[in-house]
Structure 1
Amino acid sequence: MQNLYKTICILLVFAFFPVGDAYGFLRVSGSQIVDAADKPVRLQGLNIEFKDFMTVLNEDDIKKIADSGANSIRLAFNYLDLEQSPFAYNKKNFELLDLVIDWCERHGILVVLDMHLVPGIQNIHDFVVNREKSAEFWNKREFQERFYALWTHIAARYRDRNIIAGYDLINEGSPPDISIYRKILNTVAGKIRALDKNHILIVEEAIHPARSKELVLIDDKNTVYSIHFFYPPQFTFYATTTERPISSYPGKMLTAGNLISEIKSAAPAGNEEWQIAEIKASPPEGSEVLMVNIISEGNQGVIFFDDIQLAVDGHEIDLPAPLVSNNSFEIDYPGFNWDTTNSCVKVSDTTAKTGKYSLSFLNCRHAAAAHSSPIQVQNRAYILKAWYKSGSASGKTYISLSWHAGKILSTIEKSSLLEQINYAIAFKSRNNVPLYVGEFTAHANPSKENVANYLSDLLDIMVKEGFHWSFWEYYSHYRGVGIHNGTEKAMVNPAAWDTLKKYMK
């Protein structure tokens, strides 16, 4: 009877008070995050891009995340989502942000606000939200002042919202040196603390110009330190890397090794209309890996290719790789594009067989190529077809199927994951601070078992080490990157979703 009374009281508290009030403000206590009652809280959830609430996502998605067992989201925003012009802010988008936070509070989901892209750009590698050729944030004072101003505006607006778990200050910053990184982080921390003394700050590891990473302490004691873990990227970024070996987890990553044989079909010059080139072939003995290739050399004009089709026993295979379908070059995003050599090979919007785009070889005087990812050989009959238009082309251009022996790149297993994440484990232990894996992923893979096995091993490590975590990501416009995709928010990575739910429960 006494237990029933306690249960009823708890339910009444949650019925009449927002979940944020039930937690109070989270804070750092040694290597843990605790609530207002000093009870440990483990952040476990998913990344969501704020921009997606402007189009396809809504409160139902927050509820779905809550129902999965997650207790948090990392809400990634571009500074341009909130900054209308330098030092002036977008009222409409801030009101939408208020609404998303309200939804999270209603469904018991803590929010990490993540400035994913800062004024001037903090890292030139491809961002989900933007792509730039230079990172000017680190060397221009105006950009830094706008960064400080936006965070202080956020802190002033949300300092009383305890459903917000913390502020992730700079996503994947790549400073020229650590002293500049530490100075900027300490400066923004001081400006936030002048207005908001409660919310946790989250400091991510710095990415050095040579791509190595370093966790950096700042002066603020209410700070959580964060890493992003994508090892090995050829596996975890299956949908968006041109380095896409044939992989099993646990097991080997296999790519194309020694060439065994190659079957070619020419694309002759002088065709003003779209023509088709075709190859029919079966794999030679000993071949493990198949590549689809488009080659042009000695070409002082232009030739276009579109609608590349590969079928085995009548069943079409996605190109450039299984599950990564860009046969018609309609998706312009790293990794979905074919692996190209020579800058003369580009996606073109001047002509297309279908859709809006084709692949052009323009003035490719020296050998130039577009390659598919490695494809595992099946001992069956293959047919390759490619449409081309070669009115002004010269030189030699052809499509080919090349058959290769397999070449082992590496072996991946739980021990190799642990080896790669050990630096973060050591930093947490040495400095007695909480550690947050703000991003990790396993894109949809031809083998669902690979995804489930990989995530299970990594989550086992993170749980054992007391890490907080957030999976990248709940939704993406690019198929296979997020758990959900498309206007209907279709489930495209069920293996990831089901595995995460086991650990979030």
Structure 2
Amino acid sequence: MSKRNLFFLSGLFACAAPALAANALVNPSFEAPGNATGWVGFGGTPVIAASAEQAHGGTQAALVSGRSATTVGIAQTVTSQLQAGKGHDVRVWVRNRQAVSASYSFGIKLVDGAGTRYVVLDSRSVPAGKWVKLGGYYKHSPTGTVSLAQVYLNGPAVGSDFFIDDARLDPPEAYVPTGGAASDFIRASGRQLVVGAAATPIRLLGTNFAAYSDEADMADSVFKSREFDREDYAAVRAAGLNAVRLNVWYRMFEDNASPYVYKQEGWDWLNKQIVSARQGGVRILLSMMAPQCGYQGSGYTGTFWTAGNAYGSCQDRLKALWTEIANRYRDEPVIAGFDLMNETLPASNAQYQAYVQTLAGAIRSVNTRHLLDVQSCFASDCTVPPLIADGNVMYDFHHYDHWYHASQLSYGGNLGDSNMRYGDPTSMVLPWASDTTPGTLLENTPIPTGTTAWTHYSGSPFTISASNVIAAVPVFIATANTGKVTFDDFTVTEYDPAGNLVRVVQNIDMEKAPANPHLLESFDPYLSFTGKTTTQRLSGTTGSRVIESTGHRGSASVSISGAKGKFLVKMPNLAFSVRQGYKYQVSGWIKGTNATGSTGAMGLQLQTHKAYVTRTPYTKAFLEASLLEYGVQFSLNHNVPINIGEFGQNPRNYTAERGGLAWMTDTLSLMAQYGASGMNWNWHSVSWGAYSNLYGFPDAANLNQPLINLFKAQGIAVY
């Protein structure tokens, strides 16, 4: 596409699209010289003045000083700006003046018939020397007459000054569809997607915005989420991408207690996303991530495909919801298409195919313009997407191949380092556990009998020589020991055939998993493995495993007591790929309590691959074969477009030795070679995000810049 056509197409939509709702705050950026008009002291009489000392945007911010208490801060009265029964997004940027961290509270003060309330929208510590965005979602639900409503910010200790800038109060969008001709909508044409009157070929390349939650949660968990914000759509375009796969959830539009009754709050939210995307210069692929009866996926145990639930047929409710969405947004080309269901688990591919055809028919009864997106499913016979009778469909699969590499060391996942090094022809793909068989047990020298203190024992390197050995699992071993032996932190080290140190594969501290590992701000991926251990009693063996509340380091360890025969505690989640001729050493801390017999030792249990498994180097050739198998060959065979709705690597893989960036480079190259669209997983999350901060909105200090640079290099068209 020529630059002229690019500008023409993007300009066409920009002229037709409604602008973002006006900021309801007065003087939100403090740009008038010396002007803090509209802002007042909160909880006291601080000094508030526009200042050029610091600025988040423009040349000035407000400086709040002379504070007499932590409750003293800055506010603006918004009594007449709030709309009853509606949701509002409230934002502010804050920076400490002193070189210390400080805690803030940001919210709404409301005085009405119920008295005085303080609705905290955000509360967090702001580090020294950094601008941080605070914000939240406020649904205005007053009681009786409102006599005062204020946006406020306070919280730092007495003597602390702070700057604020670029504050916002956004009411719901006054949404008007973009409109346009049928040719303005992205559509399927053979294996390509095309757009415009000239049917110009285009690929969608983007990222995922997560806007769903667990079935037990409420829609507020999405409305109040900080996974992304309005500015992130423009940031996606600035990263060289042209699409966002927006992961939605039925709960945003429909409550179980009121099936088929749709909530304006959900439409207001979606309207805002559409307008933000349009202004940001990207399209939205609207993806039903979590339908009625719950998010599915490989371990789904819900009743979507069988009995529905107490509120009726989940299949009928999803069909009705998609029909409402398709009808409501039938004139909105900013929506690239409708991704009908995410990672489903039906009884069979035939059941899934029939239902997706039903969804397509319902949508087509009200909307013939939008592209449909049909994914593969997780049924045992669903290896590629099912073909449906519709001429405007893009087919879809997800690509994390290989999962043991992509998800290793993922936040809260209790997965160790798989030792798969992408791009190294000596690094073999680690097969699925079901494709391996436990083999030889390699044992270190046992510890002395009796009672011994915590002692570090270094193992001897074990050489991998059998041709069918492909992996190893760390194990703790007790043999013929009527006493107790306790194990804690250990390492697994790899040496090349000449005995040179290659790397430390595992460096594990055995700890109990926290109640919710996803809420750990600082995260050591080698923690929290005690609950993942399993036991193996060899023939004639008895014994018991206990997770102890003390350890050599930290607050947990694992013990084996009363072992008759050979008793193993295994860590299958820490299985790692091994290389022929290389040596592996396991060393760690052990103590004995009245230990007898052959006491205890650490070791490795080798895993042999089954006869049908082919040893495969983890290289671009493997990636290409994988992409062809799961969807690209399907696209070639049936002459239909293909999309990879999710693909990615967790942030800890973006090191030279783990090869995450090389994996992404080759994946994008192969997608371009075969004309595939795709959306990286994902924009903002600790486990997988381009932005990997846990708290707050996407934070540039936690941006995977090499990944963004790689996206920019793709030169993807806008429309």
| Partner SS, residue 570 of structure 2 | strand
Q: Does 1:281 align with 2:454?
A: no
CA distance, structure 2, for counterparts of residue 301 and residue 78 of structure 1: 54
Match of 1:474 in 2: 683
Q: Does 1:43 align with 2:204?
A: yes
Cα offset, 1:46, TM superposition? 0.9
Match of 2:342 in 1: 171
Match of 1:220 in 2: 390
Match of 2:186 in 1: 26
Q: Does 1:236 align with 2:406?
A: yes
Q: Which of 606, 616, 627 is the matching residue for 1:410?
A: 616
Q: Does 1:464 align with 2:673?
A: yes
TM-score by length of 1: 0.75
Match of 2:52 in 1: none
Query: What letter matches 1:281 in structure 2?
Result: S
Query: What letter matches 1:24 in structure 2?
Result: D
Match of 1:144 in 2: 315
CA distance, structure 2, for counterparts of residue 93 and residue 364 of structure 1: 59
Q: Which of 435, 441, 444 is the matching residue for 1:262?
A: 444
CA distance, structure 1, for counterparts of residue 553 and residue 330 of structure 2: 49
CA distance, structure 2, for counterparts of residue 80 and residue 268 of structure 1: 60
CA distance, structure 1, for counterparts of residue 383 and residue 477 of structure 2: 38
| Partner SS, residue 497 of structure 1 | helix
Match of 1:204 in 2: 375
Cα offset, 1:404, TM superposition? 8.2
Match of 1:108 in 2: 281
| Partner SS, residue 485 of structure 1 | coil
| Partner SS, residue 161 of structure 1 | coil
CA distance, structure 2, for counterparts of residue 83 and residue 303 of structure 1: 55
- Contact map agreement 2:283 2:335 (CA 8 A) in 1: yes
Query: What letter matches 1:279 in structure 2?
Result: H
- Distance 1:62-1:457 versus aligned 2 partners, 3 A rule: same
| Partner SS, residue 201 of structure 2 | coil
Match of 2:16 in 1: 17
Match of 2:245 in 1: 74
| Partner SS, residue 190 of structure 1 | helix
| Partner SS, residue 154 of structure 1 | helix
- Distance 1:114-1:10 versus aligned 2 partners, 3 A rule: closer
CA distance, structure 1, for counterparts of residue 193 and residue 607 of structure 2: 51
| Partner SS, residue 444 of structure 2 | strand
Cα offset, 1:432, TM superposition? 2.0
Cα offset, 1:504, TM superposition? 4.7
CA distance, structure 2, for counterparts of residue 496 and residue 214 of structure 1: 28
CA distance, structure 2, for counterparts of residue 251 and residue 135 of structure 1: 42
CA distance, structure 2, for counterparts of residue 50 and residue 457 of structure 1: 29
Q: What runs of 5+ residues in structure 1 fail to find an aligned partner?
A: 127-131, 270-274, 313-317
Match of 1:429 in 2: 636
CA distance, structure 1, for counterparts of residue 384 and residue 404 of structure 2: 22
Cα offset, 1:157, TM superposition? 3.1
CA distance, structure 2, for counterparts of residue 300 and residue 192 of structure 1: 68
Match of 1:95 in 2: 268
Match of 1:251 in 2: 425
- The structure with the largest helix share of the pair is 1
Q: Which protein has the larger Cα radius of gyration, Structure 1 or Structure 2?
A: 2
- Contact map agreement 1:298 1:367 (CA 8 A) in 2: no
Q: Does 1:85 align with 2:256?
A: yes
Match of 1:447 in 2: 655
- Distance 1:57-1:251 versus aligned 2 partners, 3 A rule: same
Return 21-30 or 332-341, whichever deviates more.
332-341
- Distance 1:247-1:432 versus aligned 2 partners, 3 A rule: same
TM-score by length of 2: 0.55
- Contact map agreement 1:202 1:225 (CA 8 A) in 2: yes
| Partner SS, residue 75 of structure 1 | strand
- Distance 1:434-1:281 versus aligned 2 partners, 3 A rule: same
- Contact map agreement 1:171 1:204 (CA 8 A) in 2: yes
1:297-446 aligned within 5 A:
308=489, 321=506, 329-330=513-514, 332=517, 338=529, 340-342=533-535, 367-370=568-571, 372-374=574-576, 384-385=588-589, 400=602, 410-423=616-629, 424-443=631-650, 444-445=652-653
**What's the Cα RMSD here?**
5.0
Query: What letter matches 2:458 in structure 1?
Result: A
CA distance, structure 2, for counterparts of residue 454 and residue 243 of structure 1: 16
Greater relative contact order, per chain length (Cα 8 Å cut-off, separation 6+): 1
Q: What runs of 5+ residues in structure 2 fail to find an aligned partner?
A: 19-177, 213-221, 431-437, 466-470, 494-502, 519-524, 537-542
Match of 1:129 in 2: none
| Partner SS, residue 137 of structure 1 | coil
Cα offset, 1:203, TM superposition? 0.6
Fraction of identical pairs, as percent: 21
CA distance, structure 2, for counterparts of residue 70 and residue 328 of structure 1: 41
- Contact map agreement 1:294 1:397 (CA 8 A) in 2: no
Cα offset, 1:440, TM superposition? 1.5
- Distance 1:321-1:367 versus aligned 2 partners, 3 A rule: closer
- Distance 1:4-1:466 versus aligned 2 partners, 3 A rule: closer
- Distance 1:277-1:194 versus aligned 2 partners, 3 A rule: farther
Cα offset, 1:70, TM superposition? 0.3
Cα offset, 1:320, TM superposition? 9.1
CA distance, structure 1, for counterparts of residue 704 and residue 544 of structure 2: 32
- Distance 1:56-1:469 versus aligned 2 partners, 3 A rule: closer
